[in-house]
Structure 1
Amino acid sequence: MTNCRSCNIELTSKYCPNCGQSSQLKRIDGHYIIHEIEHVLHFERGILYTIRELIANPGQNVRNYLSENRSRLVKPIIFIIVTSLIYSTCSHFFHIEGDYINYSGSKESSTSTIFKWIQGHYGYANIIMGVFIALWTKLFFRKYKLNIFEILILLCFVIGMGMLIYAFFAIIQGLTHFKVMQIAGIIGFVYSTWAIGQFYEKGRAINYVKAFFAYILGMITFALTAIIIGIITDLIIKY
């Protein structure tokens, strides 16, 4: 008899009856690494399955994730991190960071430095922007009684899909040299508006209007916050 290394419960089988931890951890080798990659990418309950479901019916699938079954889709935090990494890799590889996000201002200002970081790390900046979009979404859809964390889960999936859309068009632009990132921005915005509106009640047209303004205002307040932080930083440095 041995005890579980996680919760110290006595083991009577290959798995702990309390926490499910295996009694013997597999050695990390090439087979283990391949299995872990397959586990993330496989079509059934993996990232490809999640992408398919978020394309077909994002609102219903995210609602199911929140209230019924959290094992069918990839965890939202993992999803947005992986998709942001995919986008960032594609954008840096094809050098398209500034093609649809641009800031003109003093190159020596802190604001310029902040926006330069946003341009170069848009995948990760988008995660931060999601917080601002979530606050406006909470305001516009307050009657639905969802808390801010549930809305952030929704936006992790929505923004993650946006990152994949941008990555897809970044590859097209990199291979064909046609300027298509502006189109990617439009499609990503339309998808986000549609997905958020569908999540709350797909049969109500007003919800898509609210989603539109929540997303727009989230982007604007994110940009204004970056500008204000830059101005305050410059004032502190100056005085």
Structure 2
Amino acid sequence: MENNVCCNCANTNVENYCAVCGQKKYRRIDSKYLVEELQYTFLHVNKGFLYTIKSIIKNPGKTAKDFLDGHRVNHYKPILLAFLLAGISSFISLKILDFEKIMMSSYSSPNPEASKQFMRDYSTFVSNYNSFLMMLFIPIVALFTKLVFNSKKHNYYEHVIMNTFGQSAYLLLMIFVFYPIFYFLKDDPGAIISLSFVSYLFVPLLMFWFYKNVYNEMSTGSIIVRILAIVGLGIVVFFVLILIIVVFMIAINGPQAFIQQR
């Protein structure tokens, strides 16, 4: 029997969702209901998760622009999506590729400089948690893009969401392109480390494709100059953070942490 009264607020409701509280119209829980709920919770196949991933793979910049322009009903939550992809990326690097073992093997060289404990720990940490570290950089990168593009069209918080889509595009590139290659090279740590550096070279190219579609009214030269400015600011911040880490480790462990034990 059809129930036209909202079970949550008692408002008369003839639509699929209550106009007052937003609750979905009452229906009995059956097998179809359970399947739909599982689908919505884990994948949201007809819209959210897979739809957004497909859109990002096809054109991440256009996907971000459409979302900022208000076309959001079909998309998965961008911040949640980025965290899910970062989790998947970290699981692959930790459990499948075993980057910790690769880094330890790479820095077990007879060269004493290459075998410093600090370098091993630093490289292992960055390799294992690279995805989450890049997530932490999103608010900083959003500040850079807000300053560099100097556009009144988007506020800072929209730049955060925009760069979350960009980060998701990078994570998908790693998961679907580079990680499979890493897997086949897992017995050659040197090749994996070299290819890891190559993967970073794709970042400016990905950024160009991304921002060219977000700011499609700008010329190619203007986009390139702005990307170079963002990369430059990012390098400065990176080295400042490294300096802070080094100073912190010296403060905790003393200068001997960076002096080769003889």
TM interval, short-chain normalised:
0.7 to 0.9
In structure 2, the CA distance between the partners of 1:27 and 1:85, relative to structure 1 (3 Å rule), is farther
Following superposition, the deviation at residue 129 of structure 1 comes to 1.7
What amino acid maps onto 1:173 in structure 2? F
CA distance in 1, matches of 2:238, 2:204: 16
TM-score (norm 2): 0.70
Contact persistence 2:43–2:49 (CA under 8 A): no
Kindly indicate whether residue 31 of structure 2 is the aligned counterpart of residue 36 of structure 1: no
Percent of aligned positions that are identical: 22
What amino acid maps onto 1:107 in structure 2? Q
Q: What does residue 199 of structure 1 align with? A: 214
Gaps of 5+ in 2: 108-113, 255-262
Q: What does residue 20 of structure 1 align with? A: 22
Q: How do 1:206-225 residues align onto structure 2 when only pairs under 5 Å count?
A: 206-225=222-241
Q: Deviations over 1:67-95 (max 9, x none)?
A: 22211322111121111112111111112
Contact persistence 1:165–1:188 (CA under 8 A): no
Contact persistence 2:18–2:25 (CA under 8 A): yes
Contact persistence 2:142–2:163 (CA under 8 A): yes
What amino acid maps onto 2:56 in structure 1? L
What amino acid maps onto 2:117 in structure 1? K
Kindly indicate whether residue 179 of structure 2 is the aligned counterpart of residue 170 of structure 1: yes
Kindly indicate whether residue 70 of structure 2 is the aligned counterpart of residue 68 of structure 1: yes
In structure 2, the CA distance between the partners of 1:15 and 1:135, relative to structure 1 (3 Å rule), is closer
Q: Deviations over 1:35-56 (max 9, x none)?
A: 52241xx2x4233322332233
Contact persistence 2:85–2:171 (CA under 8 A): yes
Contact persistence 1:162–1:188 (CA under 8 A): yes
SS of the residue 2:131 aligns to: helix
TM-score (norm 1): 0.76
In structure 2, the CA distance between the partners of 1:173 and 1:35, relative to structure 1 (3 Å rule), is same
Gaps of 5+ in 1: none
